[in-house]
């Protein structure tokens, strides 16, 4: 095997074996899997739950009950009408909480709606619409109008754009996958930086660099931690897909898998982008205490990327979101979302992917120069003026 590949493979294997045996990593992964499964179950319970209301009725007939039930069905609420003997019984059951409301019809066909507190807007609208419809129907029938002859106009709906039935599922997968992506990038990138600082402070890096070159050590560390982070994302993503399919939230398995594959492809570039910068940041400092301050710009950038996806999902067709989706590293989270809503062509996706690769190549070149010239430096933090000199070749 090529000596370069051998060295990188050995270093990557060392990182993988070291990190995977850490109890904190195993426990946190298990906790996230449990949270995903529990969250999916709760989500499916609320998503599949239909609103149901029980309404009492005093003095009405079967036609009134039918009108209220049909109006509720049209509004997406199941209304169950319960006949009551008198207004006192209606007041008592509403007060006890057994009924959401009660409708009392007097001899003059006036309606009184009884409720314990202010009615929910949806139920209030259902009762008013149902009573109005019943009153209209009763009045027409009393005047001898044959309701069977009344028919609405013929209406044909023409869609200018075809909405795919699975678009909501794809958007959900893209959003959840992108959140997992950024979590892995932030934790994995910080893991790279912490590993670099630990090796510097313990002088282990001097022993390692006596056997391998600095870039071999850099690439081995990024590759090893990248494999761990990718494995964690795939495991958590697979858990979410299985839980979503089992609970009925995801009904199109092929769509779910293909969308997740696209998210993983962008993850690889996003992780490389941030991990290389975190490695350079770790090489610039000499103590663990300095790392948080030095890495804060990267942390802020990763949070901005994450927020762009979370808050931009509602406006993916806006101009600023479409422009931002071309800019690395924002494209790593926004392009999969644009793909999910069908707002991007294959050519546009490919070109954006190439731009992200170019950005990663530039970041890796910059980080490599900083890392190779700073990783053995101890005692003082590398200044930005010194970094500029490194990039200029001085």
Is residue 47's pLDDT more than 90?
A: no
Is residue 281's pLDDT more than 70?
A: yes
Residue for token digits 């449990």?
A: 34
Write the DSSP symbol of residue 181.
H
Answer whether 222's CB lies under 8 Å from 195's CB: no
Percent of the chain, pLDDT > 70?
87
Distance CA 217, CA 210 (A): 11
Q: Residue 335: which of 185, 216, 177 has the closest Cα?
A: 177
Query: pLDDT tens digits, residue range 297-352?
Result: 888 998 888 888 878 777 777 888 888 989 999 988 888 888 877 778 888 888 99
Mean pLDDT of the chain: 81
Which tokens hold the place of 17? Answer: 């074996």
C-beta neighbour count of 108 within 10 angstroms: 5
Distance CA 173, CA 2 (A): 40
Query: pLDDT tens digits, residue range 139-163?
Result: 777 776 665 555 555 555 554 555 4
Write the DSSP symbol of residue 27.
H
Query: pLDDT tens digits, residue range 1-22?
Result: 567 778 888 888 888 888 788 8
Is residue 262's pLDDT more than 90?
A: no
Distance CA 199, CA 323 (A): 40
Over residues 46-63, the mean pLDDT reads 78
Cα Rg of the chain (Å, integer) = 31
pLDDT higher at 166 or 51: 51
Q: Residue 174: which of 300, 325, 31 has the closest Cα?
A: 325
Which tokens hold the place of 374? Answer: 């700073």
Q: Which element (helix H / strand E) includes 150? A: none
Query: pLDDT tens digits, residue range 155-192?
Result: 555 545 554 556 666 777 777 777 777 777 778 888 88
Q: How far is CA 245 from CA 37, 41, 47, 62, 169, in A?
A: 11, 11, 14, 42, 11
pLDDT at 152: 53
């Amino acid at each position: 095997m090529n000596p370069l590949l051998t060295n990188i493979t050995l270093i990557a294997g060392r990182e993988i074996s070291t990190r995977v045996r850490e109890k904190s990593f195993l426990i946190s992964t298990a906790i996230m899997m449990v949270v995903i499964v529990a969250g999916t179950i709760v989500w499916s319970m609320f998503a599949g739950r239909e609103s149901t209301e029980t309404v009492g009725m005093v003095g009405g007939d079967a036609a009134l009950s039918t009108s209220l039930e049909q109006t509720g069905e049209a509004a997406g609420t199941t209304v169950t009408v319960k006949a009551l003997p008198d207004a006192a019984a209606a007041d008592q059951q509403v007060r006890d909480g057994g009924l959401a409301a009660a409708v009392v019809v007097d001899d003059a066909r006036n309606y009184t709606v009884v409720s314990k507190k202010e009615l929910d807007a949806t139920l209030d609208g259902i009762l008013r619409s149902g009573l109005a419809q019943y009153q209209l129907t009763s009045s027409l029938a009393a005047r001898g109008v044959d309701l069977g002859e009344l028919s609405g106009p013929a209406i044909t709906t023409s869609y200018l754009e075809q909405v795919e039935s699975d678009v909501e599922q794809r958007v959900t997968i893209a959003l959840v996958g992108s959140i997992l992506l950024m979590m892995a990038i932030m934790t994995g990138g910080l893991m790279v930086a912490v590993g670099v600082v630990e090796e510097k402070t313990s002088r282990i890096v001097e022993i390692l660099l006596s056997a391998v070159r600095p870039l071999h050590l850099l690439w081995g560390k990024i590759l090893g931690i990248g494999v761990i982070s990718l494995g964690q994302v795939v495991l958590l993503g697979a858990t979410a897909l299985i839980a979503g399919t089992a609970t009925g939230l995801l009904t199109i398995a092929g769509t779910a898998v293909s969308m997740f594959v696209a998210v993983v492809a962008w993850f690889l570039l996003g992780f490389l982008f941030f991990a290389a910068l975190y490695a350079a940041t770790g090489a610039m400092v000499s103590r663990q205490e300095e790392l948080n301050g030095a890495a804060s710009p990267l942390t802020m950038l990763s949070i901005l990327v994450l927020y762009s996806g979370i808050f931009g999902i509602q406006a993916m067709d806006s101009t600023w979101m479409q422009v931002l989706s071309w800019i690395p590293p924002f494209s790593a989270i926004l392009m999969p979302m644009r793909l999910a809503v069908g707002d991007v062509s294959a050519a546009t996706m490919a070109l954006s992917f190439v731009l992200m690769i170019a950005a990663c190549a530039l970041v890796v070149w910059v980080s490599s120069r900083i890392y190779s010239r700073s990783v053995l430096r101890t005692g003082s933090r590398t200044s930005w003026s010194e970094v500029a000199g490194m990039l200029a070749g001085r």
